[in-house]
Structure formats: structure tokens, C-alpha cells
Amino acid sequence: MSRRLRVVQWTTGKTGRAAVRGMVGHPVLDLVGCYAHAPDKVGRDVGELCGLDPIGVLATDDVEALVALEPDCVSYMAYRPNFDHLERILESGVNVVSTMYMMAGFGYGEEATHRLRDACLRGGSSLYASGIYPGHAPNVALAASAMCSRIERVSILESLDIAGYANEQMFRAQGFDLPPEDPAAAVACEASCGSFKDQIPVLARELGVRIDRVGFRVEFATANEDTDFGFMTVRKGHIAGFKGTVSGDRDGRSLIECSFVWKLGEDMTPNWPVTHGYIIELDGDPGVRVRLEPQGDHLDGTVTTALPAVNAIPQVCAAPPGIVNLTGLPFVRGAHQLRP
């Protein structure tokens, strides 16, 4: 059994709540603190904020008080990273796992990368970003690649009706409900795919292949009628779905493709089929097809997003300082999760 690790949860939004539920009762993780962004969450019990019984840990917005707890790790799941907070955490020697878009380390630009890497080196801490996609689905593609003697192309498709994720802020930032002819739509969608762009170089490096360009293409589906999802309305004729691909190309040929079909509901044109999960295909000898399909009520994606970060905490705490990803980190698995 590994030594127990003290963890601070940073925000209790959709992913953060799933992370807390994954940590409470965990055999080696102890939740010792929690950061709240919303003033009305400060002072409230974290269990209560996450739909659980009280656990005796109160949320605070006092960054220094959380650092003073000397946790082994922060589980950082704010909607947008606060680099001042992250720098302070890392330079104080506290490791960070996160679902922010930082798989290769460049998801938020080079300045942020250098800032965080320097903070890691000053503090002797590590930062690891994961999630389901980007994050764990590409890891599974890499694991599958070990079966092949020759690979011509690797593709990963996320195909989801994401209405259950119910995140208006995120969906609008991605371009949902914009008119398809609005040039801002493709820009918004591509900007929200920075995460996929970030993971292409990681996949290329791990597969030992050189790419000379990261490309992007997108198609839109528009709503057939005004549709009220409860958390937001998509207007008739406006964007209700995306089919996008970020590709790692060489000499004009696409070698690695990270694709997504994101839909709000079904009433749209075109109405692409949704497979609810992740299809990983390796064209080669032999060709390999892997289907990752969360079962039950996990289609909202919060657990499958949070747990690849939570389950990495022991490895990240043992990792060398710096921004770590697949290189330098043992394969992340659900250690301690097999609990009859």
C-alpha cells in the first residue's frame, strides 16, 4: 500500500465535484482542503458542496491557508487556470494534477508554460494535466499501438451528445448557438480545440514520428427548431453541433487525427450519428480498433474527466519536478480502485 497523500481540491465545479467524490473514502488519498472561487461556497463543507455527507473540510478562498496545509498535491479543476494561483502552489513545492488543457504543456501559450515550469523547478514540484480527451483516450491509443508492427494513421474520435454536461459558459465559448456563417464560430471552435492541438505533439513524440503541421477543419450542424436545454437555448438555424478534426500532418498527409462530434441533442441538420464514447483506430498491420464506452450514468463525462487526473496523484507526487506527461510518468491506471 502506498503512503497516504494529502490533497487539496481546487474548485468544486462539474469536474471538481466528481474528483471529490473519487477521493472521499479513497484508500491512499486524504482530502484536506478545498479552494472556492464563488464567494457563497466559502466556509461550506466540501462534502455538502459535492452532494455528499459533510466531511469536515471547509472550502476557503485563502490561497495561503491552503498552501500552509502542506498538501502533497492540488487537484486543480477551475474553469480557466489562474496562473498566479498555480505558480504559488507549484513554487511552494505542492504538486498539481489538473484537467486543464496542458497535456504537452503549451495549451495556454509559451509564457504560461515557462511560468509554470519555472515554478515547478523552484519548488521541486510536478504538474500533470489529463482528463478523458485530451488525456486518457490518447493514452489508450498509445497503449494499443504496442500491438502493431506498422502504423499508417492513428485516429481518435470523441462522439457525444454533450447536452448532459450542461455547461453554458463552456458551450458558448466553443461557438454553440452562433450562426454558422459567423466567422467567429470556426474561430471559437478552433480556440476551444487548443487542447487537441496540445496533445498532437505528445502523440507524435511518443510514437516517434515527425509532423510538420497541426491542421484543423470543422463542419457545423444547425438546429431545426429553437431548442431549450434548460441551461441554454439554441436558436433555429444556429450551431447545435460540430464535427471537427485536429490533425498532425507530414508532407500534406494526415498521420494523427483527434476528431470530435459534439452535439446538443438530435434535432439538427446534418444529424451525425453519436456513438457515446471514444473510437480509437490504428490503420496498419494489424489494424486495431478500440472502443471506450463509459457505462451507466457516466455519459456526462465528469467522472471520466476527473479520475484520470485523480488516479495519477500517486505517480505525479513521485515524478521528477517539471511539467510531466506521458514521458516520465508511469502509465496511469486505477490503482486502489479495485475495491470489492
Ligand X SMILES: NC(=O)c1ccc[n+]([C@@H]2O[C@H](COP(=O)([O-])OP(=O)(O)OC[C@H]3O[C@@H](n4cnc5c(N)ncnc54)[C@H](OP(=O)(O)O)[C@@H]3O)[C@@H](O)[C@H]2O)c1
Q: Is 174 in the site for ligand X (CB under 6 A)?
A: no
33-52 binders of ligand X (CB under 6 A): 36-38, 41
Q: Is 21 in the site for ligand X (CB under 6 A)?
A: no
Binding mask 292-321 for ligand X (x = CB under 6 A): -------------x----------------
Q: Is 169 in the site for ligand X (CB under 6 A)?
A: yes
Binding residue for ligand X, selected from 8, 132, 162, 310, defined by CB under 6 A: 132
Using CB under 6 A, which of the segments 10-18, 108-116, 182-190, 268-276 binds ligand X? Answer: 10-18
CB of 340 to ligand X, least distance (A): 29
Using CB under 6 A, which of the segments 165-173, 213-221, 254-262, 281-289 binds ligand X? Answer: 165-173
- Residue whose C-beta lies closest to ligand X: 131
Q: What angle do CA 158, 163, 166 make, to 5 degrees?
A: 115
Q: Is 108 in the site for ligand X (CB under 6 A)?
A: no
Q: Is 172 in the site for ligand X (CB under 6 A)?
A: no
SS (H, E, C) the chain: CCCCEEEEEECCCHHHHHHHHHHCCCCCEEEEEEECCCHHHCCCEHHHHCCCCCCCCEEECCHHHHHHCCCCEEEECCCCCCHHHHHHHHHCCCEEEECCCCCCCCCCCHHHHHHHHHHHHHHCCEEEECCECCEHHHHHHHHHHCCCCEEEEEEEEEEEEHHHHCCHHHHHHHCCCCCCCCHHHHHHHHHHCHHHHHHHHHHHHHHCCCCCEEEEEEEEEEECCCEECCCCEECCCCEEEEEEEEEEEECCEEEEEEEEEEECCCCEECCCCCCCEEEEEEEEECCEEEEECCCCCHHHCHHHHHHHHHCCHHHHHCCCCEEECCCCCCCCCCCCCCCC
Using CB under 6 A, which of the segments 74-82, 141-149, 202-210, 292-300 binds ligand X? Answer: 74-82
CB of 306 to ligand X, least distance (A): 8
User: Which residue's CB is nearer to ligand X, number 86 or number 100?
Assistant: 100
Q: Is 276 in the site for ligand X (CB under 6 A)?
A: no
Q: Are 57 and 33 in contact (CB under 8 A)?
A: yes
CB of 269 to ligand X, least distance (A): 27
80-99 binders of ligand X (CB under 6 A): 80, 82, 99
Q: Is 135 in the site for ligand X (CB under 6 A)?
A: yes
Binding residue for ligand X, selected from 9, 15, 75, 315, defined by CB under 6 A: 15
Nearest residue to 244 (alpha-carbon basis) of 232, 260, 230: 260
Exposure string (b/e) for 208-229, b if CB count within 10 Å is 16 or more?
eeebeebeeebebbbbeeebeb
Binding residue for ligand X, selected from 29, 78, 317, 329, defined by CB under 6 A: 78
Q: Is 9 in the site for ligand X (CB under 6 A)?
A: no
Using CB under 6 A, which of the segments 12-20, 216-224, 266-274, 329-337 binds ligand X? Answer: 12-20
Using CB under 6 A, which of the segments 72-80, 114-122, 262-270, 290-298 binds ligand X? Answer: 72-80
Alpha carbon distance 250, 210 (integer Å)? 7
Number of residues that bind ligand X (CB under 6 A): 26
> What are the residues facing 245 on neighbouring strands?
217, 259
Binding residue for ligand X, selected from 133, 176, 262, 278, defined by CB under 6 A: 133
Q: Is 203 in the site for ligand X (CB under 6 A)?
A: no
Binding site for ligand X (CB under 6 A): 11-16, 36-38, 41, 77-80, 82, 99-100, 131-135, 167, 169-170, 305
